[in-house]
Amino acid sequence: MTHEIAVVPGDGIGQEVTPAAVDVLDALDIDFEFTEAEAGDAVAEETGEPLPEDTYDLAASADATLFGAAGETAADVILPLREAVDSFVNVRPATAYPGVDAVRPETDLVFLRENTEGVYAGHEDRLTDDVATLTRVTTETASRRLAEFACEYVQDGDHDGFTIAHKANVMRETDGLFRETVAEVADENGVATDEVLMDAFATRVCLDPTQFDVVVCPNLAGDVLSDLAAGLVGGLGLLPSANVGPDRALFEPVHGTAPDIAGDGVANPAAAILSAAMLLEYLEYDDEAASVRTAVETTLEDGPRTGDLGGDAETADVTNAIIERL
């Protein structure tokens, strides 16, 4: 069976780390068919469109998409791409890796972020010169779908349960609906939950990240709290993510375009390659996924290392070392 993979490198170091991830996938004994497409600042400058229709359609029909990064146009690229794959959950592991200086090296968290609504539903109005409004949307349907995914995730991964992070003491109807629905679904599935206010989470995760494991949250809470956890493990540089839908999914490193080093061939491909490992897992190549992850971890520990980790290796050196270790 052939798997169609859309490859959308985007801008900056996306152009370097995405091909590296493709090289790693290509080195495995799996039948992938890769199709590349454009998105981001560069294509927007040429055509006026940060996300050409062809790219949207490709992501909407491929089995999986590997995305790199986009610059100024990031929101105009990634939000529609998430929609193209009908992604209802953004899976964001935040794990401290060996060889990386972390504020909290014991951090080992996974965020399951609602990926379709909340403030991202994006109904905004400028009512008067003085007043602008945004309608934040929460549905039981989306909350339930996320919760069902979370229950499976917890059961498959042998986690003890999950924490619901929200702000239902202020957003009583919307986050109230979210929290109740998620807790109810967990209960139906025999999955244990606890809950924490998102502001209290921000304090407590700094004090002791081992208090938490799997964290389920609304869209913006997941955005901010997972980026906070990224700070605790030493930055966005090594973190992968998955935007999962019912029939397809999109994988992206959490880092941006790194304009300061873009084009120099020295970007760390680890996050893109770890995103490829999430792709393998999504397509149920669990052994291959584990092998890629181990190869990345060994390379982080034993080198070669790129500049961000104090080494002087190039992207290609690191990629080749990972491929050799598969």
Peptide bond into 304 cis (omega under 30): yes
Pick the binder of a second copy from 52, 105, 235, 303 (CB under 8 A): 235
Binding site for ligand IPM (CB under 6 A): 74-75, 78-79, 169-170, 199, 223
CB 197 within 8 A of CB 175: no
140 binds a second copy (CB under 8 A): yes
By CB under 8 A, residue 184 contacts a second copy:
no
167 is catalytic: yes
Nearest-approach distance from CB 33 to a second copy, in angstroms: 34
> Residue 246, exposed/middle/buried by CB under 10 A (0-12, 13-18, 19+)?
exposed
227: annotated active-site residue: yes
Nearer to ligand IPM, 223 or 308 (CB): 223
Q: What distance in Å separates the CA atoms of residue 214 and residue 207, rounded to the nearest whole number? A: 17
Residue 217 and residue 111 in contact, taking contact as beta carbons nearer than 8 Å: yes
Cα distances from 27 to residues 32, 179, 200, in angstroms, run: 10, 43, 45
* Minimum distance of ligand IPM from residue 49's CB (angstroms): 17
The two three-digit tokens of residue 205, written as one number:
């995760």
199 is catalytic: yes
Q: Please report which helix (H) or strand (E) contains residue 121, including its range.
A: strand 118-126
Q: Which residue among 57, 152, 192, 203 contacts a second copy (CB under 8 A)?
A: 203
Q: Would you tell me which residues interact with a second copy (CB under 8 A)?
A: 74-75, 79, 103-104, 119-120, 122, 124-126, 129-141, 167, 169-174, 176-177, 198-200, 202-207, 220, 223-225, 227-228, 230-232, 234-236
Residues marked active site are found at 120, 167, 199, 223, 227
